[in-house]
Structures are given as C-alpha cells and as structure tokens.
Amino acid sequence: MTIGKLRWLTIAAPVAFVSVLYVLLHTVLEELHDFPGVMLTAVWAAASVSFFSFAVFRLVDRLEQRIVDQNRDLATLLEVGHGVSDSADLDVALSHTADIVRDVADADLVEVWLLRDHSLELAVRSGESEGGSSERDPSGKTLARSALTTSETLVFRAGPDDRRLVELGLDPSSIGMCCAVPLAHAGSVLGAMYVTTRSASGIACSIQLLDGIADRVALGVANAQLHERLLGEAVVEERVRIARELHDGLAQVIGYANTQTLAVRRLVQSGRTDAATRELDAMGDALRGVYTDIREAIVGLRLATDGPAGLAPSIASYLESFEHMTGIATSLEDDDGAGDLRLPQVVEIQVLRIVQEALTNVRKHARATRVAVRLAASDGDLVVEVEDDGVGLAEGNGAPTGWPRLGLRTMGERAAAVGGSFTVASTGGGTAVTVSVPVAPEASHARSAR
C-alpha cells in the first residue's frame, strides 16, 4: 500500500459506504427508518467508520515505519559511502564499515574477505571473535568462498537450513542466522562480506541493505586496487625515467671520463703535458656538470615528497635552490591568485617535474642570466610558463659537452600523462616552455570563494 493509494481509499471507501447504505435504507431496509431501527443503523455506521478509521491509522503507521526504516537505511548507505570514499586507508574504511554493519544488523560477527592473488584473505573482522583465528571459526571463510563462487547472496537460518550448513561442513548449533554477500564491481567479484548472529530473531536489518552496503564496499575496494595499480605504474615509470637519465647523463660521463683517462695517460707518457692538462680540464667540466645534474635530481625528488604543500610553494622553494646552485636570477609570478589552486597530487608532481626539467635545460644550454616562472589560470586550465633570456633553442640546442638531452620529450610525456599540453617557443632572445593542465571543478570553486 502506497500513500497515493491510501489517499484514494480514504475518499472512495466512505463514498461507497454511504452510497450502499443509502440504497439499502431506501430498498430492502426501509423498516430501519423507524425507532429503534434508526439507532441500530447509527450504531452500525459508527462501528463501520471506527473500524475503517483504525484500519487507515494502522496503514499510516506502517507506512510511517517503512519511511523511517528507509531513511535509516539510506543514512547507513550514505555513511558507508562517505567512509569508503573519504578514507585513503582501505583497512580503516573496511573496519569502519564492519562496525556499522554489526550495529545495524545487531550481529555477533562481521567479516570482510578479499580476493588477493587468487587467494581469499581476511581483511577485517568486527565482533566477538575479533582478533581470533579464522581457522577456529571457519564459517566466514567457507560461506565467503561460496558467495564468491556463486556470485549470489547466501542466507542461512538455523533449523530450515541445517542440512545446507552441514553440507558446507559447518555446525548449525553455533548459528542463528548468517549470510554472505559478494563484493561485486563491474562484473568482477572482489571478495565477500560475512554477517552472523546467534539470535533466534535473526539479522536485524534487511538483506537488501546488506547488498547495498556490499556494493559501496566493492566500489571502495576497486578504487583502492586501481590506485595501488596506478601508483605501481607511476613508480615503474619514474624508475624508467631515472634510469634513462642516468644512462644519458651519468653513465655517459663516466664512460667519457674513463676513455679520457686513458688518453691523458698516453699524453703524459709522451710528455705532452699541456694537452693532458686541457683534457683534464674538460673532464673536470663534464664531471662538475653531472654532479650538478645529480644535485638537481636529488633536490627535485626530495621536494616532490617532503616539500611544502601546494604547487606554488614547491616551485618557489626549488627556484631558491636553483638560484643558489647556478647563480641565475629567478622570479615567480602569480597571476590573479593562480598559485592558490590545489591540483591532485599526481598532477602537481608532474608539473613540478616539468618545471625542474625546464630549469635544467636553462642551466645546461640557454646561457641565461635570468629565468621567470609564471602561473596563470585560463579557460579552466592552470598554465605554467618558464621563460629565460638565453640564446634560444636554435643556438642553444646542443649541449657544450656534446651529450644528448631528452628533456623536451620527457616534459611532453609528463604533460600528456595528466591530460595536459606542452609547447616550446623560442627566438634569439630566449625560450619559453609552457605547460597547461586542467583544473578540477572543486578547485576552481574554492578559488572563486576566496
């Protein structure tokens, strides 16, 4: 019964009752027009109205209770959803969810099992067996595995389902009611949630609520696994990049130094000390250059993990170190508070690394005396520009020591990885490297509020 149907019932039923009573009183029940028939008719009408009213009130109470229960279930789902999405630690989110389920279901034990490397592992346990061994209480793992296999919610009650429990190797006497709900997302089953109680009244909440909670938990698990996979890929990508830079920088310089050492030895043996000195000077320049590269890389890596929060403070900190190491004057310009925008951490790190790479190119090839970094907001993007007053790409493209550089390609790859764009503009009066990355809507709103 819905509120709409109840509304029409309260209109139609009295009208029908009065119409039928009127017809009866003017046909087969005409004798009730006289006393005491009138009194009997009035009593019967009053009793009918009272019965109808009590029935309507009972339906209203049931509908109100249904609304209360639905609101409670929605509040529970909202709390679980917020807990799973807001927490960066999956174990903390699962533990919070298990406690919520135990409370709303009035359960003795709640377990969350996750499928990891084709093996079912206990992620969280909340209840009387908390901290105990799953081997001593195998019900959860057994039913979780069954839910994974069937991809369906399994519900067992003591008594009617004793035979099914025995077939699964479980003891019905220790279970009043239990269920195992699969954690499924995008067609994949990621685990199962096990809920049990010894109470004869069973689980206090609906199975539909547990299904809804399981859907939100599965989404959180899928997001956590995706984040872990992306983080692993980012680590691998960064290792490959560092390995490539070491190969193109440090390894080649060491190889060059090794070759030149043999040449210097032959020059010294032949008495050509002036030529040997020139070769040693060249080796010293190359080694100092790679030493500076390593220092820049170390500063950049430390800044990306331990530096100040926010892109603008991180760039400012790096510019200070860059100016101290190179003697090149630096400046940071912030257009209309663009530096206040907060980007996702992965985007901030990539933009910071692009700026660092651009400054490395300035140091190596531009022969500049000044470099400026500008931050601006344009059409929903954050635009970062690194401009120097050096010789420009046309003249400065080749490094003095002759070593190849892949900085431009690396910067383009970093920008593309976060959905941004990368351009280089150069004249005889310097080079401008520009990277543009999209800004999350909430970040834009936060800046507008300020």
- CB of 124 within 8 A of CB of 98? yes
pTM of the model: 0.55
Would you tell me how many other CB atoms lie within 10 Å of the CB of residue 217? 30
The CA distance from 179 to 177, in Å, is 7
Q: Starting from the edge strand earliest in sequence, which strands make up the sheet with 381-388, in order?
A: 329-334, 370-378, 381-388, 430-438, 421-427
Q: Regarding predicted confidence, which is higher, 375 or 224?
A: 375
Summarised one tens digit per residue, pLDDT across range 317-331 is 889 988 988 889 999
CA distance 123 to 97: 12
Q: Does the pLDDT of residue 394 top 60, yes or no?
A: no
Q: Given this model, what pLDDT does residue 404 score?
A: 36
What is the tens place of the pLDDT at every residue in 351-360? 988 998 898 8
The predicted model gives 140-166 an average pLDDT of 88
Q: Whose structure tokens read 């980007």?
A: 343
Residue 446: per-residue pLDDT: 41
Structure confidence by residue, pLDDT tens digits, 5-53: 777 777 788 778 778 877 777 777 766 666 677 777 778 788 888 888 8
- pLDDT of the residue at 211: 94
Q: Is pLDDT larger for residue 5 or for residue 112?
A: 112
Choice between 308 and 337, residue whose per-residue pLDDT is larger:
337
292-302 pLDDT, tens digit per residue, is 777 766 766 66
Distance CA 178, CA 156 (A): 5
Share of the chain above pLDDT 70, in %: 84
